């Protein structure tokens, strides 16, 4: 898969994100502090989300100090369902029940071992085929503004 990656700084786990994603066989498109472009969280994280919405990337991973700003910025892009995940169970649930296509991570809270667990759960996850889950996901597109 093509994964768009954005971080507003190179703090915490930021330096190991690209190698961890590549280790799982994905191609990485970088934004923000990892590239030669504006690194503020709203700008770089929305750019990564725009990659997903346009089809330039299949999914994205966006990061800032808390992960909150990264998820807010990504969720402003139509067609994006970003989930702030602090553990593997949340990442698996976000993929399964929400068909989340952007993973938001806190640079401050996430350790290297926890990052590995989150990425494994995220990339091995798939969307539920349950009618109720699919109806909820479809409704998000209806209410998008």
Task: For residue range 1-26, list pLDDT tens digits in order.
Answer: 999 999 999 999 999 999 999 999 99
| Residue 61 pLDDT | 98
Least trusted range by pLDDT, from 24-28, 89-93, 141-145: 141-145
What separation, in Å, do the N-terminal and C-terminal C-alpha atoms of the chain show? Answer: 28
Instruction: Tell me the pLDDT band of 145, cut-offs 50, 70 and 90.
Output: low
Q: At what angle do helices 88-98 and 131-143 cross, to 10 degrees?
A: 80
Q: Sheet of 59-64: strands edge to edge?
A: 27-32, 2-7, 59-64, 102-106, 82-84
Given the residues 44, 63, 64, 85, the one annotated as active site: 64
pLDDT recorded at residue 144: 84
85 is catalytic: no
Model pLDDT, residue 63? 98
pLDDT reading at 118 higher than 90: yes
* Other CB atoms within 10 Å distance of the CB of residue 142: 6
């Amino acid at each position: 898969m093509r994964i768009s990656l954005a971080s507003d700084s190179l703090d915490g786990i930021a330096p190991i994100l690209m190698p961890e994603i590549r280790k799982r066989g994905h191609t990485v498109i970088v934004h923000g502090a990892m590239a030669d472009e504006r690194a503020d969280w709203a700008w770089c994280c929305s750019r990564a989300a725009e990659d997903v919405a346009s089809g330039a990337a299949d999914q994205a991973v966006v990061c800032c100090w808390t992960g909150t700003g990264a998820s807010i910025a990504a969720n402003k892009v139509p067609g994006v369902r970003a989930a702030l995940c602090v553990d593997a169970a949340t990442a698996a649930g976000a993929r399964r029940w929400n068909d989340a296509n952007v993973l938001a991570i806190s640079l401050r809270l996430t350790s290297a071992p926890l990052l590995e667990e989150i990425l494994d759960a995220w990339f091995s996850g798939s969307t539920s085929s349950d009618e109720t889950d699919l109806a909820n996901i479809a409704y998000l597109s209806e209410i998008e503004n």
